[in-house]
Amino acid sequence: MTRLSTFIGVIILIFKILCSNVFAGPTFVDEYDVTTHETTPTGIIFNPEGTRMYVTGIDNDRIRQYTLSVAFDVTSTITLERSRWITSVENRPQDIKFNSDGTVIFVLGTENDGVARWSLSTPYDINTLTVADSTYTSVGGDPRGFDFNNDGTKMFILDGSQEQVEEYKLTTPYNPDTKILSKTLSTAKGSSYHQGLGFSPDGLKMYVVKGAKSGSPGNSFNNILEYNLTTSFDIATATLNGTYTTSHSSNEYIAGITFNNDGSKMYHINFNADEIREYTLTCAYGIISCIDQTKDKDTVGNAEAQAELSKKFMQSTSIPVLNRMEWLRRNRNNINLTNQNIKFQFSNTMLNSIKNSFVTPAALNKNNLNDFMPEGWSSWSEGNISIGRTGDTNKSSRKKNNTTGISIGADKKVSKNKLYGIALRFGNDDVDVGNLGNILDMNAYSLTLYGTLPQGKSNFIDSLLGISTFQTDIVSVNGDNKLNGDRDGDQIFGSLKIRKTIKKNQFNFTPTAKLDLGYTLLSEYTEKGSDALKLKFDEQKIKTVITSVGMIFDNSIDIERGVLKPNAHLEYNADISSSSESKFYYAADTSKSYVISNVNNSNHNIRMNLGIDLIKDNGWSFKSNYERNQNETGYSDTLYIGAAYISANDSEYALALDGEKTFVNYTKNINGFDLKFDSNYSLFKEVPDYGANIQISRIFWLNIQRIITRIWILFIMSKRFAFFKSKFFK
């Protein structure tokens, strides 16, 4: 008995597993009868809002415009709003489409075997159609269905006689007159009545409608063929995924195909019964199976961008800290250990217009942090603004990245070459993925502890350890639908840099070796929006390992009342991070998972830096650096410009250049009061553009700022420590 129970239990378990993985196909809802208006309907489409339905047919040779009381619901109240004769242009219309904004309507016909089109002065309103203004383009064959890609640069024709789909390039979008035949795809043979063609908005699925055999209505064919495309709107990559057979009537002859705006509903025509049929779908545009989003370049680009942002923020946090320790070592004999820098980063294509792209707050240029620093500590800051681009790949859409950030730090010199410090960074990254409006907006915060330890007179070890937290707002676009998601992330990272300085007269040669390590945990999240479209993403772990070797060259040149220190840095970076996987599901069908692999691919990078420091005896210091980062996919350029002044009479001065503007900041202490003056002035604009600000404050308020800053640091540290304790010390 026990064995029998076990056996039955196993059978039940297997049955549940099998059933859970069975894809639920279209579910028939209802139909709408158009017999009183059209006895041989052939084509159907909706406006994007689903409040209007358009039907064409070969009996009365008209376009009919209906209004729906409930969007995309054929069971709601449907009213014939308008019909337009098109017999002067086409007597046997087969299919109907709009351009992307509804200002042009197209009708495919077999009378002249071509595509007719009319302009609409009011989008999606055939009341504004003028038949006299029609244009006709012959396509030949026996055209039974057609469609366009999203931007109208491709047109697809279903040739019924040849039983094939033809792909045309349009040199002018949505203008069939400019067509060039580029590819053909043979469809399933055996029926002379192919009668409908359509695509999903991402171009990864294509649908071909096969009606019944000539003179044989019923279930002889009445099939919808679903094709999967590995490349969007490229029929050369199409493979037949499966066939769905309709069987709701013995008088069956199907034609036409369309979907609602999120793909959760499908519609086709029953040619013989004069009906518009409505179905619900488990997931968007899934007749045979859900769309494989791992083949969607925007989805892949989105996943890649999330991994890249976590790695980029780790590096954006580490580099300013390492730069600080390098600057201190180069200028270790200088009594002024405070430096305030502004960093500009831009792709080379933007070099000529960079001055029009950046606006850096004047606050980044202030040299006033030492006013509330504990005794023996020095302050520093570094801000950065960057623009970067990555082109399309075979798997991923292009990306455009805009980054802003500021690092604020303080350190204490323990001995001539030994110090330790702490730094905070606040950063924002905006990434545009593809051309449809996919956006990632990440806000990140980090806390870093760092120090440098001398190993003899010329050998040094620079190290840092940091934690970060960030939140990313994600917008994914699918057709006319926007889906939103919020994803949290936590990160721990460290960097170890070994350097040995070799002196040769006035020259210093410093070989370096660096190791960057990071671990990032991205939380699970589910998109908000259309139930048929939204995806659920699992938790994702990203491990980062970057090794670097390089050489620093610097020289010290004595000049009148100061010293000039040119420097250069050449570094090779090898990203040897292991691949990370992004795993997700359709929220409506979690039985099948999708995995995007290699979203954290390794790469190789060369970094070159040329700079010069000018340290004057009178308290002035200047810093200027140019940096180029080059890898196999592109490059970026970085420019650092900064100046500072500290005098012996409790006054401070800072100057910085920001594109076409200069910023001047002056602080002076007078009997316990701080007098602060900030100003900016445009260098090149013909129209005056300048501003100024004067502030007077007591040291009391600076002490309050110091207390608040320390509380904030302790809060961040306690929060992150609790997180990492839960993850690593369970």
User: For residue range 304-317, what is the model confidence (pLDDT) as tens digits?
Assistant: 889 888 888 888 88
pLDDT at 701: 45
Strand partners, 454: 460
pLDDT at 20: 40
CA dist., res. 595 & res. 574, Å (int) = 26
pLDDT tier at 374, thresholds 50, 70, 90 = low
pLDDT at 130: 79
Q: Rounded to two decimals, what is the model's pTM?
A: 0.71
Which segment of 33-42, 196-205, 688-697 scores lowest on mean pLDDT? 688-697
Which segment of 15-19, 234-238, 282-286 scores lowest on mean pLDDT? 15-19
CA dist., res. 35 & res. 41, Å (int) = 9
- For residues 186 and 631, which has the higher predicted lDDT (pLDDT)? 186
Average pLDDT over residues 391-398: 82
pLDDT at 408: 84
Percent pLDDT > 70 in the chain is 72
What pairing do the DSSP bridges indicate for beta strands 339-346 and 377-390? Answer: parallel
pLDDT at 687: 44
pLDDT at residue 267 is higher than 80:
yes
pLDDT tier at 659, thresholds 50, 70, 90 = very low
pLDDT at residue 176 is higher than 90:
yes
**Any idea what DSSP says for residue 247?**
-
pLDDT at 726: 54
User: How many Cα atoms within 13 Å fall on the side-chain side of residue 260?
Assistant: 24
pLDDT at 443: 92
Contact 423, 321 (CB under 8 A): yes
> Chain-wide mean pLDDT for the chain?
79
- For residues 539 and 371, which has the higher predicted lDDT (pLDDT)? 539
pLDDT at 415: 77
CA dist., res. 721 & res. 208, Å (int) = 57
Which segment of 20-34, 41-55, 167-181, 516-530 scores lowest on mean pLDDT? 20-34
pLDDT tier at 417, thresholds 50, 70, 90 = confident
Greatest CA separation for the chain: 104
pLDDT tens digit string along 480-510?
Answer: 789 999 999 999 999 999 988 888 877 888 8
Average pLDDT over residues 9-23: 44
Structure tokens at 690: 């300048």
Residues 6+ apart with CB under 8 A from 728: none
pLDDT at residue 291 is higher than 70:
yes
Structure tokens at 167: 């792909």
Burial class (CB in 10 A: 0-12, 13-18, 19+), 641: middle
Other beta carbons within 10 Å of 277? 23
- Of 32, 125, 640, 22, the closest CA to residue 380 belongs to 640
pLDDT tier at 213, thresholds 50, 70, 90 = low
- For residues 276 and 502, which has the higher predicted lDDT (pLDDT)? 276
Structure tokens at 447: 């806390």
pLDDT tens digit string along 102-158?
Answer: 999 999 998 888 999 999 999 999 999 876 667 889 898 889 999 999 999 999 999
pLDDT at residue 232 is higher than 70:
yes
Average pLDDT over residues 544-551: 92
Average pLDDT over residues 619-628: 73
pLDDT at 366: 39
110 three-state secondary structure: coil
Average pLDDT over residues 262-279: 92
CA dist., res. 720 & res. 726, Å (int) = 10
Average pLDDT over residues 552-558: 84
- Of 297, 594, 242, the closest CA to residue 434 belongs to 297
CA dist., res. 115 & res. 152, Å (int) = 14
pLDDT tier at 472, thresholds 50, 70, 90 = very high
pLDDT tier at 351, thresholds 50, 70, 90 = very low
Exposure string of 213-249, with b = 16+ CB inside 10 Å and e = fewer, is beeebeebbbbbbbbbbeebbbbebbeebeebebeeb
pLDDT at 532: 87
The one-letter amino acid code at 218 reads G
Find the angle CA(261)-CA(297)-CA(174) to the nearest 5 degrees: 55
pLDDT at 80: 95
Find the angle CA(60)-CA(64)-CA(69) to the nearest 5 degrees: 145
- For residues 473 and 141, which has the higher predicted lDDT (pLDDT)? 473
Contact 274, 33 (CB under 8 A): yes
Distance of CA 289 to the CA centre of its chain: 26
pLDDT at 592: 86
CA dist., res. 198 & res. 147, Å (int) = 6
**Helix/strand number for the chain, H first, E second:** 3, 43
What pairing do the DSSP bridges indicate for beta strands 275-280 and 620-631? Answer: unpaired
- For residues 685 and 438, which has the higher predicted lDDT (pLDDT)? 438
Contact 116, 86 (CB under 8 A): yes
pLDDT tier at 368, thresholds 50, 70, 90 = very low
